[in-house]
Amino acid sequence: MSSSSDFPSGTDPRDVRPQNANETPGTGPLPGAGRGASTGVGAAEHDLTPVGGTLNALANATWQVMLTAGVAAVALGVCVLAWPGATLFVVGILFGVYLLVSGVFQLTAAFGHHVPGHLRALHFVSGALFLLLGLICFRGAAETILLLALWIGFGWLLRGIMLSAAAISTPAMPARGWQVFLGVVTTIAGIVLIVSPFRSIAALTLVAGVWLIVLGLMEIIHAIQLRSRTKMLTAGVPGGGTPGLGTRPHPQT
């Protein structure tokens, strides 16, 4: 039991109160002490509001981009099916431009100081060959279609052979049977394009047109679904925030 000598002189013992845990001797309550936990909750909710608005804007931009890409793919597919000859001509011109640009870059790389000496000859030969093929593409539509078909055919042939060989030599490859099947089909398609380039490229043009329309319709459907989902999440939430797009209730509520 404390005696009166434990207290400072001139101090009534009844006026001395135990110090609060949030107080320090001679200073009083700490800044912010005594406030409820609601202050921190409100600050957290305030910080989450901009995040919800940003994600909401991102979702709106996403479905708009998907819808635009889908409409463009459908329009391009319709043009390919409606004018297959003109489509092949335009694709052939673009292919010739690609060969010319690639040839220029290959020749430029052949004279670069960073290229080893044994690779300069390879860059020079490949660049000259690309330039020659690119110039041939601009001679006429037949040459353009022929080079385009052979280019695609040899690319598919090499890809199919490498894919089949990799699948056969790797027993642990996932979906090994499908990989072998895809490699064989790609190899056969490449051989058909090389043997019969004009008929094959015409059929490939029709397939590309149908495929573009199918892909475009799928993109449009996904864009509409995403737009509907975004509207459902934003409906009835003040401030544009959505529980699924950036805002969430506090665990204590």
Whole-angstrom distance, CA of residue 177 vs CA of residue 172: 11
**C-alpha to C-alpha distance for 251 and 44, rounded to whole angstroms:** 11
Worst-scoring range by mean pLDDT, 21-25, 77-81, 127-131, 205-209? 21-25
| Residues 147-151, mean pLDDT to the nearest whole number | 88
Neighbours of 232 (CB within 10 A): 11
DSSP one-letter code for 18 = P
pLDDT digits (tens, 9 = 90+) for 12-28: 555 555 555 444 555 55
Q: Which of 39-48, 102-111, 123-132 has the lowest mean pLDDT?
A: 39-48
Helix axes 197-234, 176-195, angle to 10 degrees: 130
Q: How confident is the model at residue 38 (pLDDT cuts 50, 70, 90)?
A: very low
Buried b (16+ CB within 10 A) or exposed e, 194-207: beebeebbbebbee
**How many Å apart are CA 192 and CA 108, to the nearest integer?**
35
Please give the structure tokens belonging to residue 49.
Answer: 């509001």
pLDDT bucket at 8, cuts 50 / 70 / 90: low
**Helix (H) or strand (E) segment spanning residue 113:** none
DSSP string, 203-251: HHHHHHHHHHHHHHHHHHHHHHHHHHHHHHHHTT-GGG--TTTT----T
Identify the sign of the CA torsion 72, 75, 81, 87: negative
Q: Give residue 41's pLDDT band: very low, low, confident or very high (50, 70, 90).
A: very low
CA 169 – CA 148 distance, rounded (Å) = 32
Which pLDDT does position 202 carry in this prediction?
84
Helix residue ranges, H only, the chain: 38-82, 84-110, 117-137, 141-169, 176-195, 197-234
Structure tokens that stand for 130 in this block: 């690309």
Domain ranges within the chain, ordered by starting residue:
65-235
Residue 20 DSSP class: P
